[in-house]
Amino acid sequence: MNKHSKNERKIGKNILKLVIIALFVLAIIIIFHIASNNYVIDDIKGKTNLIINNTNVTKNLKADVYIQNNVVYISQSDIKNFFDNSIIYDEQYNQLITCAEKKVATLPIGVNKIELNSASINIKSGVIEKDGIYYVPISELGNVYNTQTSYNEGTNIVTVDSLDKAYIVATLKKDISVKFKPTGISKTVAKVKKGDTLIIANRSDYPVPNGWTRVRTEDGILGYAKINTMGENVTIREEIQKSVENNKVSLIWDYFSSESHIPDRSGTQIKGINVISPTFFRLKEAGKGEINVHIGEKGKEYIKWAHEQGYKIWPSFSNESLGDTTASIVKDYKLREKMINQIIDNIVTYNLDGINIDFENMYQADKDNFSRFLIELEPRLNEIGAILSVDVTAPDGAPNWSLCYDRHTISKVSDYIIFMAYDQYGISSTKQGTTAGCNWVENNIQKFLGQEDVQASKLVLGIPFYTRIWWEDSKGNVKSSAVGIKDLKEKIPNDAKKEWDDDLKQYIVQYKKNGIEYKVWLEDEESLKAKLQLISQYNLIGAAYWRKGYETNEVLNLISNEINK
């Protein structure tokens, strides 16, 4: 063998050694990777761990869980993050106010009681203040948030389970090791004996490979176990699904000024309508939360008629544009509570199906306070199964007419938010114009769905059954009067000039009478049809109409044909 061949063999052996070394290093890296992912646990040591609905949220806490005299406390900020994003501190009455799906609770600072839906309940310990932080006794508020809280001192783990979520357990067939990850080489986090019970903790955000299941031990430790080591699953509690009705809303407001003016509608029907909103409730001026109720015997007959026809009844509650009275109530918890209690009492007393909140001409400064009133009203209505609908104006208008509403918050809180798509040009306008041009209506629907982030499934389009006749007086001042659709034929001469505007989807009518020039942007079947078609175009939940008595039979037939398309 020559020298050249020996060198080649030597080089080959060196290369082989390098390959073996490289493979060895790679194997170590792979093993280390597996160990780091499946064996090394990122434990949160030295503090109480909090598990909410089988998720360890300890890393996301704003403040540590605090335990005193067997009461579990969570900071106000963490309650806001995990249970009630509307919880607030009420400085006027030195209390926290928190809301859940069917409960409103006030928690006076340092007092061992709560007010729950206006009923006083004693608890083991109230809200405490520590290092400038308010701590809420979560273990005492199970009947507020519909939860069950447990603390295991041995593992230093607090578990909070929502009672509307499924609760499934399994009994072990033999002794097993609960693993940190769903693999046999993962670290053991708990040893569990045959006959012990494990809680099934599977979640969509924790995918589990075949043959494994995610579990929680009785002392709160989360991990994974092999399915074949466990007995059959037993469902202790089914998940409670909140029913959501997707039926179209077709609401008509029925206006009357007082109890004596309630109409007798017995023996009649309103075609195309499934909800009726009579003007039963009005805010009492300077009444400190008092409501004027216009029902009486006539109202009872009206309610009986409506239910016999299959209509839902969501009476209108108007603030009568009383800005100062409204402001004094919505900023004061006890006055809000007083007003809410009256709403609930009347709904129950008169067998009503919901409420339509029609608060207008509020101060822009009361925007958040009005939202707060609705936030506290919603759970009380949920408790009795009543609907909350709220009327609002178009976005981007005057401070006390438009900017006084937080439409996004209102839409989240309410079952339905009703866009009163009128008046584009109203009684105070210095310029003649349409009551509700289709292009203006559509543009504002887009704002609701876009900038206001309102769900189409909650947005009801308010449509006018009236228009305005415009003219100028002898001094050149713009004047107008509202006229219902059914009365327009009597007001407009047969020979009036009529021209279609395709942007407005309306006829513009002009005529002269007694030397005065009149102009009308006509609301009729054609203009209403164009607006009704926006409901299906934008997948809105329905329409509402102002008001009963202004319509024709042809209009009601149109609604009946269009609303469910």
CATH code of the domain in which 114 resides: 3.30.457.10
The pLDDT value given to residue 16: 67
Under 8 Å between Cβ of 107 and 144: no
Residues 6+ apart with CB under 8 A from 33: none
Under 8 Å between Cβ of 481 and 563: no
Under 8 Å between Cβ of 319 and 283: yes
CA proximity to 523, closest of 421, 395, 430:
421
Of 211, 237, 263, the position where a domain reaches its end is: 237
The pLDDT value given to residue 205: 80
Residue 303 lies inside a defined structural domain of this protein: yes
Residue 480 lies inside a defined structural domain of this protein: no
**Amino acid present at 319:** N
The structure tokens 């520590």 sit at 130
Domain match, 76 and 221 both? no
- Write b or e for each residue in 355-382: b if 16 or more Cβ atoms lie within 10 A of its Cβ, otherwise e: bbbbbbebbeebbebbbbbbbbbbbbbb
Decide: residue 39, CB within 10 A, 0-12 exposed, 13-18 middle, 19+ buried: middle
Q: Cα separations (Å) of 382 from 267, 345, 386, 459?
A: 33, 14, 6, 19
The pLDDT value given to residue 36: 46
Residue 110 lies inside a defined structural domain of this protein: yes
Domain match, 320 and 434 both? yes
Decide: residue 463, CB within 10 A, 0-12 exposed, 13-18 middle, 19+ buried: buried
Interval 273-319: pLDDT, tens: 999 999 999 999 999 999 999 999 999 999 999 999 999 999 999 99
CA 440, CA 468: separation in Å to the nearest integer?
A: 17
CA 541, CA 416: separation in Å to the nearest integer?
A: 8
Domain match, 205 and 291 both? no
Domain match, 446 and 558 both? yes
The pLDDT value given to residue 204: 81
Residues 6+ apart with CB under 8 A from 324: 286
Count up the domains in the chain and report the number.
3
Of 84, 116, 151, the position where a domain reaches its end is: 151
| CATH number of 338's domain | 3.20.20.80
Domain match, 289 and 437 both? yes
Under 8 Å between Cβ of 359 and 377: no
CA 82, CA 79: separation in Å to the nearest integer?
A: 5
Residue 39 lies inside a defined structural domain of this protein: no
Residue 400 lies inside a defined structural domain of this protein: yes
Of 98, 122, 151, the position where a domain reaches its end is: 151
SS3 99: strand
Domain match, 215 and 187 both? yes
**Could you tell me where the beta strands, DSSP code E, fall in 206-361?**
212-216, 222-226, 234-237, 249-254, 275-278, 281-283, 291-293, 312-313, 316-318, 354-358
Domain match, 232 and 118 both? no
Under 8 Å between Cβ of 425 and 434: yes
Domain match, 253 and 340 both? yes
Residue 550 lies inside a defined structural domain of this protein: yes
| CATH number of 204's domain | 2.30.30.40
CA 378, CA 392: separation in Å to the nearest integer?
A: 17
CA 481, CA 352: separation in Å to the nearest integer?
A: 34
Pull the structure tokens for residue 508. 């513009």
CA 159, CA 52: separation in Å to the nearest integer?
A: 6
The range of the structural domain enclosing residue 100 comes to 49-151
Domain match, 307 and 415 both? yes
Domain match, 439 and 527 both? yes
Under 8 Å between Cβ of 243 and 256: no
Domain match, 326 and 445 both? yes
CA 94, CA 333: separation in Å to the nearest integer?
A: 11
Under 8 Å between Cβ of 410 and 371: yes
Handedness of CA 357, 363, 364, 370 (dihedral sign): negative
Residues of the chain short of pLDDT 70, as ranges, are 1-19, 21-43, 242-245
Residue 79 lies inside a defined structural domain of this protein: yes
Q: Cα separations (Å) of 223 from 59, 173, 196, 313?
A: 17, 18, 15, 51
Domain match, 137 and 187 both? no
CA 422, CA 30: separation in Å to the nearest integer?
A: 68
Interval 477-505: pLDDT, tens: 999 999 999 999 999 999 999 999 999 99
CA 493, CA 520: separation in Å to the nearest integer?
A: 12
CA 535, CA 563: separation in Å to the nearest integer?
A: 8
CA proximity to 440, closest of 460, 411, 419, 410:
419
**Amino acid present at 48:** T
Assign 3-state DSSP to the chain and report helix, strand, coil percentages, each to 5. Answer: 30, 30, 40
Residue 500 lies inside a defined structural domain of this protein: no
